[in-house]
Amino acid sequence: MRIAHFSDLHYGAATLEEADRCFGAAVDRAIAENVEVAILSGDATDHGLDLHEPATLKLLAQVRRLADHCPVLMLQGTFSHEPPGTLSVFRLLGARHPVHVADRIEQVALTREGQWQASGSWRFEDVPAGARLLVSCVPTINKAVVAATVGAADAPQAVGEHLALLLAGFAPTNRRAQAQSIPTVAVSHGTVFGSLSEHGVPMAGFDHEFSTGVLFSAETQAVMLGHIHRHQSWEQDGPAGRQCIAYAGSIGRFHFGEEGEKGFLLWEVGADAGACMLVPTPARRTIDIVFEGRPDLETLREAIASHGVEGAHVRVRWTVADEDRHAVDRTAICRLLAGAAQAKLEGRIVPIMRTRAPGISQLGSLADKVRRWAELTGVEPTCVLGCLKALSEEGPTEIVERLLQSIGTRALVKEYASTCARVFV
């Protein structure tokens, strides 16, 4: 069975242009490839949307266009992006083919008539008659509920343990489907331990939901994942045949610094093997130009010439000391980036650090305070104390005369001392 796997569309007010351009192109390609099923593995929206918003209307239109071609399954994603209930409206689209919203743990079968049949509980005991495809659905897990039950400290481990039991529990039904030559798929939204983020950071914390071993234990030929915005995959040959786990990645490039191609996955899933390939979308091009100090305009010109910023989204970053913050010519940088679709300037200011002297306010004299300060900062106090004594005991004329006498120019002393005295006064 040929399946189109989309993920992390992130339709919202700020992301609408990128999301709709990329998803629209992906839907066009999926229809041209004559896919039999479309699966969206979470985060179709970037945040809670009102029904009258342009992002809502455009997303509904694209899903309706997809559902006019083939059956569609939509999985509940991260609650901050898709508040519970957000996807319910998609059940009412009334397209040629049904849209199933998987917002609970369940198994869903696609029948020969092209209808979705959901399990009454968390799984089917037997494969439904007339099934063409069996999908095991694990939407985003509410960790707050788990934490309220077992305690915050034990919640990450408890989530992992229960998901391992759950996925292994799907295996018997999937084995029965495989024996009947029915393709099987698992779809979920979460983080695989050891996966890479879109910025190239390994996801190695203790609160990640899955390991590849746990996902393979469901014994499906394909595991379609959402949440991480970078396409990546894992494969193994085992008793269940050729199994493949893959993130589709985000449909577009929504942040600076994201690595890798953006697109959707075109899957070929059989009863004994699953394989996918990434189909790129026209995601925007982003360029990062970084300076360790003050931006050098000549270096910036060279970077612009080598990268070609016409139509690209460019971010220029720099780090300067607090006293140099006003020396950066933002206007000149913007002029050089006039051909870019977007120019984002980010300056990091390193604040001046002043050493505090604990207890200095409790000392009785100014001289004692100077000695305390010198002790903490590693400064020799003799010269400073000498200057302090001169300021407290002598006037401006006497100080200037004494300093100039040390030069040995007696004739100059009187004239210079008189001038300095007038200045001081």
pLDDT recorded at residue 207: 60
269 and 415 both lie in a single domain: no
**Closest Cα to residue 4, out of 230, 227, 198, 281?**
281
255 and 290 both lie in a single domain: no
Work out the pLDDT band at 408, boundaries 50, 70, 90.
Answer: low
The answer, yes or no, to whether residue 156 has pLDDT greater than 60, is yes
Give the model confidence (pLDDT) of 316-353 as tens digits.
999 988 877 888 889 999 999 988 998 999 988 887 66
Give the model confidence (pLDDT) of 367-400 as tens digits.
888 888 788 777 788 888 888 888 888 888 888 8
333 and 366 both lie in a single domain: no
Work out the pLDDT band at 149, boundaries 50, 70, 90.
Answer: low
The answer, yes or no, to whether residue 410 has pLDDT greater than 70, is no
203: helix, strand or coil: coil
240 and 311 both lie in a single domain: no
Q: Which residue has the tokens 């006039």?
A: 338
303 and 256 both lie in a single domain: no
- Higher per-residue pLDDT: 379 or 91: 91
Average pLDDT for 84-103: 94
Number of domains in the chain: 3
176 and 115 both lie in a single domain: yes
- Higher per-residue pLDDT: 260 or 160: 260
Amino acid at 203: M
180 and 210 both lie in a single domain: yes
Average pLDDT for 157-164: 81
The answer, yes or no, to whether residue 115 has pLDDT greater than 90, is yes
Average pLDDT for 88-106: 95
Q: Per mean pLDDT, which range of 16-25, 33-42, 80-89, 197-206 is the poorest?
A: 197-206
Q: Strands across the sheet with 116-118, in order?
A: 116-118, 106-111, 131-138, 184-189, 222-226, 241-247, 232-238
Residue 402 maps to a domain: yes
- Higher per-residue pLDDT: 145 or 45: 45
276 and 295 both lie in a single domain: no
**Closest Cα to residue 263, out of 29, 17, 12, 13?**
29
The domain boundary, picked from 319, 350, 381, lies at 350
The answer, yes or no, to whether residue 407 has pLDDT greater than 80, is no
The answer, yes or no, to whether residue 409 has pLDDT greater than 60, is no
pLDDT recorded at residue 420: 47
The answer, yes or no, to whether residue 140 has pLDDT greater than 80, is yes
Residue 62 maps to a domain: yes
pLDDT recorded at residue 325: 80
Residue 91 maps to a domain: yes
pLDDT recorded at residue 155: 67
CATH number of the domain residue 27 falls in? 3.60.21.10
pLDDT recorded at residue 423: 41
The answer, yes or no, to whether residue 413 has pLDDT greater than 60, is no
pLDDT recorded at residue 397: 83
Residue 138 maps to a domain: yes
The domain boundary, picked from 247, 280, 313, lies at 280
Percent of the chain's residues with pLDDT above 70? 90
pLDDT recorded at residue 86: 93
Q: Which residue has the tokens 């979470």?
A: 42
Question: Helix and strand tally (H, E) in the chain?
Answer: 11, 16
Asked if 4 and 37 count as a contact pair (C-beta separation under 8 A), the reply is yes
- Higher per-residue pLDDT: 313 or 389: 313
pLDDT recorded at residue 292: 87
294 and 164 both lie in a single domain: no
The answer, yes or no, to whether residue 219 has pLDDT greater than 90, is yes
The answer, yes or no, to whether residue 87 has pLDDT greater than 90, is yes
**Closest Cα to residue 225, out of 291, 129, 234?**
234
Residue 355 maps to a domain: no
The answer, yes or no, to whether residue 31 has pLDDT greater than 50, is yes
Give the model confidence (pLDDT) of 177-192 as tens digits.
999 999 999 999 999 9
Residue 311 belongs to domain spanning: 286-350
259 and 338 both lie in a single domain: no
**Closest Cα to residue 247, out of 237, 236, 262?**
262
DSSP characters over 67-117 = HTTS-EEEE---TTTS-TTGGGGGGG---SS-EEEE-SSEEEEEETTS-EE
418 and 336 both lie in a single domain: no
110 and 239 both lie in a single domain: yes
- d(C-alpha 296, C-alpha 314), whole Å: 16
The answer, yes or no, to whether residue 315 has pLDDT greater than 60, is yes
- d(C-alpha 21, C-alpha 199), whole Å: 22
The domain boundary, picked from 264, 280, 296, lies at 280
pLDDT recorded at residue 425: 43
